[in-house]
Structure 1
Amino acid sequence: MSMLALGALFGVVTLLIMFSGMPIAFSLGSVGVLFMAFFMPASSLDTVTQNVYEEMSSITLLSIPLFILKGSAIGRTRAGQDLYAAMHVWMGRIPGGLGIANVFACALFAAMAGSSPATCSAIGSAGIPEMRRRGYSPGFAAGIIAAGGTLGILLPPSVTMILYAVAAEQSLGRLFLAGIGPGVLLVMLFALWAAINYQREYRAAKRDFEANGTPSPLLLDEHFTMRERFEILPRVLPFLILLTGVMIALYGGFATPSETAGLGSLLALVLIAIIYGVWRVRDIAPILSATLKESTMLMFIIGMSLLFSYVMSYLHISQSMAQWIVALSLSKWVLLAAILGMVIVMGFFLPPVSIILMTSPIFLPPLKAAGFDLVWFGIVMTIVMETGLIHPPVGLNIFVIKNIAPDIPLGAIIRGIIPFVILMLLTVVVISAFPTIATALPDLVMGPNAHG
């Protein structure tokens, strides 16, 4: 069978099994085993478990369940609500301050928890009802939380970046640092849109009041005393200190990513025990159970995705596809646009974990040959994959929001999300024009990237 026919057959079989409704991990594993049975030596089936184990025996991957434990410990307490409340109290006097508070609360919680759904759930459960009570439109309230949650896979620690570091053989510390600049840029753009939208909704509410006498909570002026502002800080500051300490340990060279994850998860458990009294077995059991379930699911997907990639590599499908892309002699920016376009389409159906592990063997060699910095591309790809978390048909964050506020129509949620998707794509363009936004900080801290 020709390489073209084999590659086409591999792609068709993968799509058919995935669209059958089988879970992603089992879909990828089934395709891998099927092609091993028909196109690889019979003895290869005897080494399936060995191949999966060898592919997963990366010390970097050890940090994933530990970061998940840290996020679960923080996410299953009132830490998210307290963080949101603190942001609300301190930004209450700023026009659109409530929306901006949600953005900053999402960013800080995402940096502590490293999970997009957890950020949406923790901040959204307090933020969406509060914004609606204050007169914000339901669609905007849902959209800003859904978009803010996506920062969980860009701001460190990010499970998605851990996987990209393994797949692309890049420094995890460099990737984490590279995500900070674009992450801050996205936070600023989201906050700017929150302020602009507030002014728009405020003027509409004022016109309605003048015309019909209908009062809106949006027109009320809220004021918090300095005492109220400082009273909430003791619950929030320890977690911000935890975030700062973990970052210093990682980037200061005091600990490896796995050691940092272990330290962060241990300190998170200590903090929730001290601040929220979560220390009894009945309190800790749900945290450990959630960590075990999410880690097992994620590691299963990783293992099967790596097996899938191994089979593609063994059959020379990924190498042939990479060579074919290079042979097209596309300009570097057309090549980048085409690859990101494919990532967007894949984001309609697949989570970021699967996209990274399935496409890295195909996309990274041509990009490296075209002269792109693979750390920079990892950030750009992450932002593009973020859009997949908030656009249909999968849009994981949409379902989280729908669970928090089931009375908000799906159409209103999507309309509220669209401006943020546009801002995220605009950020990709800006980072493409000014790559130092992503590369300057890691180059400053760790020196120039010699591996590209």
Structure 2
Amino acid sequence: MGLLIVSAGFLIVFDGMRSLELMPEILFGKLDDFALLSIPMFIIMGASIASTRAGADLYEALERWLTRIPGGLVISNLGACALFAAMSGSSPATCAAIGKMGIPEMRKRGYPDGVAAGSIAAGGTLGILIPPSVTMIVYGIATETSIGRLFLAGVIPGFLLVGLFMAWSLYSTWRSGDAAVLNAGSYTWKERFEILPRVLPFLAIILGVLYAMYGGIATPSETAAVGALLCLVIAMVIYKLWHPGAIWVVLRDSTKESVMILFIIAAAGVFSYMLSSLFITQSIAEWIGTLEVNRWVLMLCINIFLLIAGFFLPPVAVILMAAPILLPIILTAGFDPIWFAVVLTINMEIGLISPPVGLNLYVINGIAPDISLKTILTGSLPFVACMVLAIILLCLFPGLATWLPDVVMGTAV
């Protein structure tokens, strides 16, 4: 609503009342895009998974397989966060699903409260980077960029972040000097294999969706629809989600979140039209082009802007408001928009575990209220440093984001 009010105000002041006649057409026209169907489908896909014990089973499966590895429990939690975040696409849902089991278990085995809470809070942010990602879909629609390329661009940086998170967690655990947290109990091979049938179907759906998309079998919207249907079916078969009330809750919550995102997209379309019609975007891009400043200094300023915006606003809102302004600037500076999408997304991840909003911090605090918000924040700060390091590595080695899309889909023209 704020975007609509600001857009309407500027249009009235600088272009007169007649400009308002176009607002309804622009508002609904922005929603007339087949690719937008993938958003509610992926949300249903994630909601059906989040409404079951899939997160707990995923955590337990990884714990059984990795428990003999030194510090295996924290690795299990981060791995479960990464996989569940990819399946659900929701950071709060990931924190809640994995944290409810992971945090008490880690604390019981002697892991520091900061590591236990911070690793889950940071692991939950991976859902907006590792595909399929609703945030990447929104960026693709806002910038008219290939969604398939964006998904592929997030794979290697996503694994890089998981690796950095695990490395820090293991170091922090080792530094604590408590051997009890480095070596846990063991499970039999029977116990390890008996849990797999409950989680492998969901992972197979994720891989199937990505294969159908990149194999040229179907569009992102079509694969998302099939994935949503299969996730609902598996939730009903494996987790006995038969009750109409439970299915209604999944569909109701998915509809609410979808409508919110789609309304933001529509309002952002009006905002983008206002910027363009008043030549604001063009003027900023032209002004940037005349500046005699190193393009990496420019990128540093953009990253600072994104960080500050991410502290106060959700990722979707930041992307839709900033993309119309930033895209011409990064293109003028010679940056790859696919690469920039990954950098932007990691900035948004930092916002999810940074005050004053820091949604994941409050979710973790709700799960473990006896862990103070200060401890959770302190525990998450090293993971913020890991994200900053990932951005630096992406700047030094842009191929981390662009190599896989170019290999799978060919070099962009």
What residue in structure 2 maps to residue 369 of structure 1? 332
The 5 Å alignment of 1:337-348 reads 337-348=300-311
Counterparts of 1:274 and 1:290, CA distance in 2:
21
Q: 1:177 pairs with 152, 158, 163, which one?
A: 152
The change in CA–CA distance for 1:78 and 1:221 in structure 2 (over 3 A counts) is: closer
Q: What's the CA shift for 1:379?
A: 0.8
What residue in structure 2 maps to residue 71 of structure 1? 46
Q: What's the CA shift for 1:391?
A: 0.5
Q: Percent identity?
A: 53
CA contact (8 A) 1:398 1:413 kept: yes
Counterparts of 2:208 and 2:237, CA distance in 1:
18
The 5 Å alignment of 1:115-154 reads 115-154=90-129
The change in CA–CA distance for 1:220 and 1:191 in structure 2 (over 3 A counts) is: closer
Q: What's the CA shift for 1:219?
A: 7.1
Counterparts of 2:329 and 2:257, CA distance in 1:
33
Q: What's the CA shift for 1:248?
A: 0.7
CA contact (8 A) 2:71 2:181 kept: no
Give the SS at the match of 1:348. helix
Counterparts of 1:219 and 1:328, CA distance in 2:
54
Q: 2:165 pairs with 190, 215, 222, which one?
A: 190
Counterparts of 1:428 and 1:75, CA distance in 2:
30
Counterparts of 2:258 and 2:272, CA distance in 1:
21
CA contact (8 A) 1:165 1:175 kept: yes
- List per-residue Cα deviations over 1:323-372 (Å, max 9, x = no partner): 22222132121111111111111112111112111111221112112221
Q: Does 1:245 align with 2:208?
A: yes
CA contact (8 A) 1:121 1:404 kept: yes
Q: What's the CA shift for 1:45?
A: 1.6
Counterparts of 1:219 and 1:250, CA distance in 2:
40
CA contact (8 A) 2:59 2:102 kept: yes
Counterparts of 1:115 and 1:329, CA distance in 2:
41
CA contact (8 A) 1:95 1:198 kept: no
Report the count of equivalent residues: 413
Q: What's the CA shift for 1:182?
A: 0.4
Q: What's the CA shift for 1:322?
A: 1.9
Counterparts of 1:416 and 1:359, CA distance in 2:
30
Q: 1:420 pairs with 369, 373, 383, which one?
A: 383
Give the SS at the match of 1:136. coil
What residue in structure 2 maps to residue 165 of structure 1? 140
The change in CA–CA distance for 1:220 and 1:448 in structure 2 (over 3 A counts) is: closer
CA contact (8 A) 1:95 1:199 kept: no
The change in CA–CA distance for 1:237 and 1:167 in structure 2 (over 3 A counts) is: same
What 5-or-longer segments of structure 2 have no aligned partner? none
CA contact (8 A) 1:77 1:276 kept: yes
What residue in structure 1 maps to residue 228 of structure 2? 265
CA contact (8 A) 1:70 1:113 kept: yes
Q: What's the CA shift for 1:242?
A: 1.0
CA contact (8 A) 2:43 2:254 kept: yes
CA contact (8 A) 2:71 2:182 kept: no
RMSD over aligned Cα atoms: 1.4
Q: What's the CA shift for 1:56?
A: 2.4
CA contact (8 A) 1:190 1:423 kept: yes
What 5-or-longer segments of structure 1 have no aligned partner? 1-25, 207-216
The change in CA–CA distance for 1:103 and 1:220 in structure 2 (over 3 A counts) is: closer
- Under a length normalisation based on structure 2, what TM-score does the superposition of the two structures give? 0.97
Q: Does 1:49 align with 2:12?
A: no
Counterparts of 1:370 and 1:325, CA distance in 2:
8
Q: Does 1:33 align with 2:8?
A: yes
Q: Does 1:111 align with 2:86?
A: yes
Counterparts of 1:219 and 1:374, CA distance in 2:
42
Q: What's the CA shift for 1:256?
A: 0.3
What residue in structure 1 maps to residue 393 of structure 2? 430
Give the SS at the match of 1:95. coil
What residue in structure 1 maps to residue 265 of structure 2? 302
Q: Which amino acid aligns with 1:317?
A: I
Q: Which amino acid aligns with 2:300?
A: A
Q: What's the CA shift for 1:376?
A: 0.7
What residue in structure 2 maps to residue 20 of structure 1? none
Q: Does 1:86 align with 2:86?
A: no
- List per-residue Cα deviations over 1:265-299 (Å, max 9, x = no partner): 00000100110010221120111111011111222
- Under a length normalisation based on structure 1, what TM-score does the superposition of the two structures give? 0.89
Q: What's the CA shift for 1:122?
A: 1.3
Q: What's the CA shift for 1:39?
A: 2.1
CA contact (8 A) 2:138 2:319 kept: yes
Counterparts of 2:89 and 2:99, CA distance in 1:
16
Q: Which amino acid aligns with 1:229?
A: R
The 5 Å alignment of 1:278-317 reads 278-317=241-280
CA contact (8 A) 1:66 1:265 kept: yes
Counterparts of 2:181 and 2:94, CA distance in 1:
25
Q: Does 1:323 align with 2:286?
A: yes
Q: 2:357 pairs with 394, 413, 429, which one?
A: 394
Give the SS at the match of 1:347. helix
Report which of the two structures shows the higher radius of gyration computed on alpha carbons. 1
Q: 2:187 pairs with 219, 224, 229, which one?
A: 224
